[in-house]
Amino acid sequence: MKPIPLKDTPGGGAEASRLSFFPKAPLRPEELRIPVAMVEDLLLRRLYVKGEATLKGLSQELKLSFPLLHALFQKMRQKQLFEVSGMEGNDYRFTLSGLGREQAAQRFLTSRYIGPAPVSLSSYNAAVRSQNIRPLIDRAALKAALADLVVTERFLEELGPALVSQKSIFLYGPTGNGKTSVVSRLSRIYRDTVVIPYAVEVDGQIIVLFDPGVHEQAENPPPDLDPRWVVCRRPCILVGGELEPRMLELQHEESTQVYAAPVQMRANNGLLVIDDFGRQIVSPVFLLNRWIVPLDRHTDYLSLRYGLKFQVPFEVTVVFATNLEPADLADEAFLRRIPNKILVDAVDDEVFERIYAREIERRRLEGEGAAGAYLRELCRRRGGELRACQPADILDIVVAASEFAGLPPRVTCEAIGRAAEIYFTRPRLGGAEGRPG
């Protein structure tokens, strides 16, 4: 699982905009909307690991406001759980007392989580629903997002409305025509930000949601925002052959007694791309059956390890990219729930030549004037149809062969012909003839 990078977006990066869900920082324990005892346990465990801390330091680490943490400190100090070791200005420096260490050790038996305080499930659900707004996408924005690719007007006409609808998309067609290149750039259409919690509390359990390897944090969050939430660009996650059944469910970590959110929950309010669909560890039938209800009702059902089931929003635009026939992967009932089916077919002569010219320019290569036409006809003769990947792939071989020979790269018909011999498969010779000794 990996994020689709939002950097290097044509026209600039994603803009931090006015948030559609803005949780204010709680200033008193009763405003947390999660069990106060859970936060007290978290404070004990954190201090148990640190040994000594200040309220300001714990406020930053646990993502709780200073006034709230100060109130909890005073309450727990009265229970003789802390020992004050000094002052830093108006702040306390303190450690656990003997009783505090004893209670903290007991709390570690049920959970070892010491990260930011979680938010309530109801708050998380409200945030996802509030942030499920249609992106502002027009032809210019989509062309800018795909500016470094050669795409046809027909493709833009089909992809644009599909993205605006926020309904699932099936990109299908023969391999090598740019499906992965397109889906890896779809995140560029988003120009706004959303809030994502570090963790969510469900029935006294903690589900870790924010992942810095997946969620791209925006700069300069509002100062009065609840620090348990992170302002992020809309998540855009790509999974390929590594997708397996356990990634679709809560993953319980035995050593910490903490849950990790499934991939679709991490992608809420954004894009989830299933690349090379049909070639995952998980079977297409299993995946489609798992998501047929969430795609239809925009609600997913997750279970804690002891059987408690709960609902979370499924506000995700799922993009399936495959070189297999959709009818071979899913039945009619499921395909009906994916209204946008877009064919990414083999390219024609004009598109092939545009791709070739762009690849020549990108590599700053010199070449014979007839080399492009020669490459086009050679690919048609050897491959059966023109593929969008062929100019880049074969030019890479030309450049590598030139480097191996110690010569400056130059694109000639002869060089392309040699590269094509490597690129396209050839009939095997009978017996052992021609094999390396």
Secondary structure (H, E, C), 210-225: CCCCCCCECCCCCCCE
Going by CATH, does the domain composed of 349-423 fall within 1.10.8? yes
R_g over Cα of the chain = 27
Helix, strand or coil for residue 292? helix
Residue linked to tokens 């791209």: 216
Angle between helices 371-383 and 349-363 (to 10 degrees): 120
Cα separation, 284 vs 334, whole angstroms: 11
**What ranges do the domains of the chain cover?**
2-21+123-343, 35-116, 349-423
* The architecture CATH gives domain 35-116: Orthogonal Bundle (1.10)
Q: Which fold has domain 2-21+123-343?
A: Rossmann fold (3.40.50)
What phi and psi, each to the nearest 5 degrees, are found at residue 397? -70, -40
Cα separation, 373 vs 396, whole angstroms: 18
H/E stretch holding 205: strand 205-208
Helix, strand or coil for residue 94? strand
Contacts of residue 294, defined as CB under 8 A and 6 or more positions apart, other chains included, come to 264, 300, 314
Tokens encoding 302: 């997750």
The structure's pTM equals 0.85
H/E stretch holding 136: none
pLDDT per position in the chain (437 positions), as tens? 655 554 444 433 444 457 899 999 999 999 999 999 999 999 999 999 999 999 999 999 999 999 999 999 999 999 999 999 999 888 999 999 999 999 999 999 999 999 999 999 999 999 999 999 877 888 998 999 999 999 999 999 999 999 988 888 999 999 899 998 998 898 888 888 999 999 999 999 999 999 999 999 998 889 899 999 999 999 999 998 788 899 999 999 998 999 999 999 999 999 999 998 888 888 888 888 888 889 889 999 999 999 999 999 999 999 999 988 888 887 887 888 888 999 999 999 999 999 999 999 999 998 788 999 999 999 999 888 999 999 999 999 999 999 999 999 999 999 999 999 999 987 666 544 444 44
